[in-house]
Each structure stands twice: as structure tokens, then as C-alpha cells.
Amino acid sequence: MVDKDIDDVPALIARLLVDAVRRRIRRNLSQGYCHREKVLARVRGRINILATESRQLLSRGEVFCRYEELTVDTLRNRLVRAALERLARLVQNNELVRHCRALAATLGRAGVGGSCPGRAELAADQIGRNDAADHLLVALARLAFDLALPTEDAGNIALIAPDREEAWVRRLFEKAVLGFARVELEPSGWSVRSTSLDWQVSSASAGLSKILPRMVTDVVLDAPHADQRLVIDTKFTSILGIGRFGNEGLKSGYLYQMYAYLRSQEGREARWDTAAGLLLHPAIGLQLREHVQLQGHKITFATVDLGNSSMAIRSELRRILSTDFWLHDEKSRKDAAGPYPGESQVS
């Protein structure tokens, strides 16, 4: 177990798997070819002459055929359905149980069989480039049967340790924030995505497109019923740096980057004209909550304390992603949660 107050592992895996399956269903389930051998009234694929003659099928106007059929009843889809049914029996949350059973039934109606494939069969199932989204589904489905989470504690399941380079840790933090926002906000109608932004170029030289830097956002949140948009940029570094005169302050490069994200998109749509920004950094033993309004855009600087328990981290992220926090509705925010320690406003 990662820490003592984490939710039980089945419930955690169930929430992630339910979210991943819903996404895959919206994009259509992955399909694959399945080998069939069947007596048919017309030729399909190859004829098994020996079986056809031995059964005297031609006298009845039939042939024994071997063919490949495109179907959603693939090994990985059956694994996912079996994982949903298993989790429905394990989790205690009634709402999660309903979601798991409903999605398993949806897969069944789509034509996915109920038998769980073995490990040897799954090892032979290669996920292609066009089905890259299935990697997460398969990983979560396997976790449902192993009921294990990666940790440094001794256990009976061995995993390969990742290279702990800076880029890997930065991507992990970015994906964690993106995944948390999807699980927490999308059920309420929010749009959560990571996207690239285009410069509003009016004219350019012929070769500029090859060297012009791209703007790629970590997370963009759109409220369901209002023209509210939040652009989140995650940085796995200290939020404060040492200035040229030895004083501690916000890192100017990060502020310039967020400023470019917001100002460069003005005029495209109403949400961009009033979009807010959030620079989110990890910290240990530090809570920083500052904000500033620049030319109509509210920009917030915040940290999440990774030294806390998983429950406290989730609660902290929920507060940071709430509209009351990044829109700086002071009255409703402080009525709900009380003032934040050391909170002030940048003038």
C-alpha cells in the first residue's frame, strides 16, 4: 500500500477503468480479426476440402470454410469486460458498482464475449500504433486482477523500475494532473484536454513554419455552461527562483510562457478573451497561493504539497481546480474552505 489513508485499491482502479472505458466507447471499441471455421451456404475465405467431402456438404449445397472475421470480440476487449465484472464484485461503492456493471453490459451488447483470456493469449496480442489508446485499458484491466499498485515497498509482484530522469518525472506529474482533472471534472460536463495552440500569423517567410516553436499546453479546462477557460501549465521545479539581485521570486520565463498562451489566442473565441492561467508546481512543506490580473487575464501561481498523504493531495488539487479558486471569487471561496495560509494578491 502506498500510504495508510489511500482508498482501497479496487475502488481506485475501478474509477480509472470506468473513465478509460467510457472514452474508448466514445471513440469506438478497437476491432480485430478472429479465425472462424464454419459450414456456410456460400464460399467465404478458403474451403476446407477434406471437411467438406467427408461430411458430404456439397450434396446439401454447403461448404466448410475457414475465414477471418472483423469483430470487437477481441482478447483485450474480453479482458476489459472481465475486469469490470470482477471489480463490480470487489468495490464497496454502490455508484462504482453500477458503473462497472453498466459498462460490462454495454460491452456485452456490442458483441464482446464474457470469457477472460489467459496470460499466454494476452502475451501474443500485440497492440498496434492505431490502437495506442488500448495500452491504458489493458494495463488497468490487468491491475484489476493483480490488485497491485507500483510502490517501493517489498511485495510479491516485481515491476521494472523506471529511469528517474528529470523528463520522466516531469511527464509523470503532468499526466497525473491531466488524469485527475479528467476523472474529477468530466463527469460534471467539463471539457478536459491537452492541446497545441497556433500562432495568429498574418504573414511569414517561406521557411518560418519549419522553425517556429509550437505552443503545447499541458491541460485546458472548459466549464460546461459558461465562457470560462483555464490553461494549466505544470512544472516539476521549484516555483521560486533566485533573481539577479539575490532575492527570491517567481521565475520570469514561466510567466512569459503563460502570458503568450493567453494573449496569442485572443480573438479566436469568447473563451480565449477571458481565459485564466494556472502555473502549478509541486512542493514539499510549502503552500504558495498568489494571483495577478494582466490585461484581462487572471493568472494564478500555486503549489501542491507532495509530502502530504494521497487523500490530502487529492483534496488540495480539488480546491485548486475549482472555479472559485482560479477565478478568485473571494467570498465563496473563503466561506467554503476558509482563508489559505499566507495568501496574498500580486499587485
Distance CA 108, CA 104 (A): 6
265 by DSSP, 3-state: which?
coil
Average pLDDT over residues 64-84: 89
Quick one: 195 and 282 in the same domain?
yes
Q: Is residue 153 part of a domain?
A: no
Average pLDDT over residues 170-183: 87
Distance CA 205, CA 207 (A): 6
pLDDT tops 70 at residue 337: no
Residue 75, C-beta contacts closer than 8 angstroms, at least 6 positions apart: 32, 117, 121, 122, 125
Quick one: 277 and 318 in the same domain?
yes
- Which tens digit of pLDDT belongs to each residue from 75-132? 888 999 999 999 998 888 889 899 999 999 999 998 888 888 887 777 777 776 767 7
Quick one: 176 and 226 in the same domain?
yes
Q: Is the dihedral of CA 245, 250, 256, 259 positive or negative?
A: negative
Quick one: 195 and 86 in the same domain?
no
What pLDDT is attached to residue 48? Answer: 92
Average pLDDT over residues 61-85: 89
What's the distance, Cα to Cα, between the start and end of the chain in Å? 45
Q: Is residue 173 part of a domain?
A: yes
Of residues 245 and 46, more confidently modeled: 46
Quick one: 13 and 107 in the same domain?
yes
Nearest to 30 by CA among 141, 118, 119, 120: 141
Are 221 and 185 in contact by the 8 Å Cβ rule? The answer is: yes
Distance CA 101, CA 79 (A): 14
Amino acid at 226: A
Quick one: 123 and 244 in the same domain?
no
Q: Is residue 293 part of a domain?
A: yes
Q: Is residue 151 part of a domain?
A: no
Q: Is the dihedral of CA 66, 72, 73, 77 positive or negative?
A: positive
Quick one: 269 and 195 in the same domain?
yes
Q: How many domains does the chain have?
A: 3
Are 323 and 228 in contact by the 8 Å Cβ rule? The answer is: yes
Quick one: 177 and 320 in the same domain?
yes
pLDDT tops 60 at residue 6: no
Q: Is residue 186 part of a domain?
A: yes
pLDDT confidence tier of residue 221, bands split at 50, 70 and 90: very high
Are 276 and 230 in contact by the 8 Å Cβ rule? The answer is: yes
Q: Is residue 274 part of a domain?
A: yes
Quick one: 257 and 187 in the same domain?
yes
Quick one: 305 and 282 in the same domain?
yes
Identify the weakest region by mean pLDDT among 81-85, 236-240, 269-273, 330-334: 330-334
DSSP 8: P
Q: Is residue 56 part of a domain?
A: yes
- Which tens digit of pLDDT belongs to each residue from 20-34? 898 888 888 888 888
Helices and strands counted in the chain (H then E)? 13, 13
Q: Report the percentage of the chain scoring pLDDT > 70.
A: 85
What pLDDT is attached to residue 243? Answer: 66
Distance CA 150, CA 157 (A): 9
Neighbours of 308 (CB within 10 A): 16
Quick one: 180 and 313 in the same domain?
yes
Its domain, for residue 44, covers: 34-71
319 by DSSP, 3-state: which?
helix
Quick one: 278 and 321 in the same domain?
yes
Q: Is residue 345 part of a domain?
A: no
113 by DSSP, 3-state: which?
coil
